[in-house]
Structure 1
């Protein structure tokens, strides 16, 4: 007897849903990959995994640090540095990788920290992501000066949508952190105002990232990692309007960095050095 076509279609649809869920439904506990003993990397505040060169991780120090992006390997070894010419590190707080208008990958650096909310302007820097690894490099970045609607804010979380190229910043010090957007086409303007979007069910956000395929979103604070699954065709705002899932989090003394691996099957976290505890690179793998 032939199997009815309806049954076959139902089986196909269920299989597709199951396969999609198997891609990522959650992540396991963090596993310590390496302890960073480099005295020059003691205030790491942002990280992003390379899209062009397998196994490399971009990090930076926060306020008062060198105006440079450091390159780590997957074991946490410092293997290079990219100096951003003509800039200073007033308070760099996060880093992300996303597309530019030419379709190439770029490294975005957010000078978005402002503990006392005294700076009327913040700055986003952008440099092309290297296609080959060099131990040292110097580059003059593109930049855009930004303002918040309603006045200065403190923020430590930056992410770029790989689908639209839109740039997102999440405030830190309000009781419900606010999601802001800069449309992709506005980067490069001499000055622009961020668009206020939604309030998120969390506070004290310190880092964020979107997976390379755009289907997963992470935000963390000092105690929790929040995870959103983004459905096909959804905007970032639509996805983040749902209640997030809380993921396992290995405690860190002052964790301010998070970043997906390019395949979206794992992510890293990294802390600043605090209480004489050296930063530990943790890896979380999808179940």
Structure 2
């Protein structure tokens, strides 16, 4: 855009210039000099806003380039102040929360579980942090529960996928149906065995694609970490091979897909990362006000939830930024689960905690 000033306007003849019939010729030189001074002062006053605008131009250009270059999320790095306390996990039996999953029903409930220090059970936590019910997974064993994810058709998937010493040749994921009524009781669990195609890996992140129902597990490593896809058709009584589909950042502790299936989020101990699709450049969403980030969930409304371990551990929330780039290739077709064995039933256990009804 061209800024028009008096400096580049066509000069018009002034009525009182030398030679003008309205001014005596003897006064022409004096008037001319006086007019020149007035014109110079006017130009100096106009130059000030022009110079100010010019000094702002590089900043505006830089901001425009940053916006155009944002490949995954249309916001810059976010500060810890963008996170706010959502709730605390107040149940006295929740001491080492290692995963978070939203309910499959329309109610303000989160599901969580303890790490390897507990039995095979999951906790329904209400809006104010009180335990609403305790579900025991019949036929399951908590070798090292590390994550939980919401699936289709009211299913919950619990990942017994930890392998710190790399001594487990295979890991397990349990599928249960979320009860409509929040009553503490045992429920049958279907067990699926998995093995990584490139040997044993420690893992703490389990993701279920909301459109296809396909499972993904993220290895936890200082270098060489990756996202692995489960087979499209899961089978019980059989080892399902996990195949590498994308790289992952170091030391991932949890991950979840967007509710619409486009893009996903991963967290490690220090920050949350957003991806528009497999192979996309990550964008950091800042560090939550936690010592160590252990769990992650994305609500149906698109809010990020990040949690940690410990008694009365906090869960922080942050409005999720909109992913704006190509979501990448869609996962393979919807898996069809073909159970070939009946889950082993174990004796019913009585919950050790009486659920507190949320006001």
Residue 189 (structure 1) shift: 5.4
Structure 1 counterpart of 2:295: 257
Instruction: Please state if 1:85 is matched with 2:133.
Output: no
Which secondary structure does the structure 1 equivalent of 2:123 belong to?
strand
Cα displacement string for residues 40-71 of structure 1 (whole angstroms, at most 9, x for unaligned residues): 11100001111213211010111131211100
In the alignment, the residues of structure 1 paired with residue 177 and residue 207 of structure 2 have an alpha-carbon distance, to the nearest angstrom, of 16
Which secondary structure does the structure 2 equivalent of 1:184 belong to?
coil
Q: Which shows bigger deviation, 180-189 or 209-218?
A: 180-189
Question: How many aligned positions are there?
Answer: 246
In the alignment, the residues of structure 2 paired with residue 88 and residue 156 of structure 1 have an alpha-carbon distance, to the nearest angstrom, of 16
Structure 1, unaligned runs of 5 or more: 1-23, 230-238
TM-score when normalising by structure 1: 0.80
Structure 1 counterpart of 2:172: 123
Residues 231 and 240, structure 2, Cα contact 8 Å, conserved in 1: no
Could you say if the C-alpha distance between residues 278 and 54 of structure 1 is closer, same or farther in structure 2, counting changes exceeding 3 Å? closer
Structure 2, unaligned runs of 5 or more: 1-72, 322-359
Residue 187 (structure 1) shift: 4.6
Residue 122 (structure 1) shift: 0.2
Bigger-Rg structure (1/2): 2
In the alignment, the residues of structure 1 paired with residue 115 and residue 256 of structure 2 have an alpha-carbon distance, to the nearest angstrom, of 18
Match of 1:244 among 260, 282, 290: 282
Residue 36 (structure 1) shift: 3.0
Could you say if the C-alpha distance between residues 73 and 114 of structure 1 is closer, same or farther in structure 2, counting changes exceeding 3 Å? same
Residue 25 (structure 1) shift: 4.5
Instruction: Please state if 1:267 is matched with 2:315.
Output: no
Q: Specify which structure has the higher proportion of helix.
A: 2
Instruction: Please state if 1:44 is matched with 2:91.
Output: no
Q: Which shows bigger deviation, 35-44 or 118-127?
A: 35-44
Q: Kindly report the root-mean-square deviation, in angstroms, between the aligned alpha carbons of the 2 structures.
A: 2.0
Residue 73 (structure 1) shift: 1.2
Instruction: Please state if 1:283 is matched with 2:336.
Output: no
Residue 278 (structure 1) shift: 4.1
Instruction: Please state if 1:170 is matched with 2:218.
Output: yes
Residues 231 and 241, structure 2, Cα contact 8 Å, conserved in 1: no
In the alignment, the residues of structure 2 paired with residue 144 and residue 162 of structure 1 have an alpha-carbon distance, to the nearest angstrom, of 19
TM-score when normalising by structure 2: 0.65
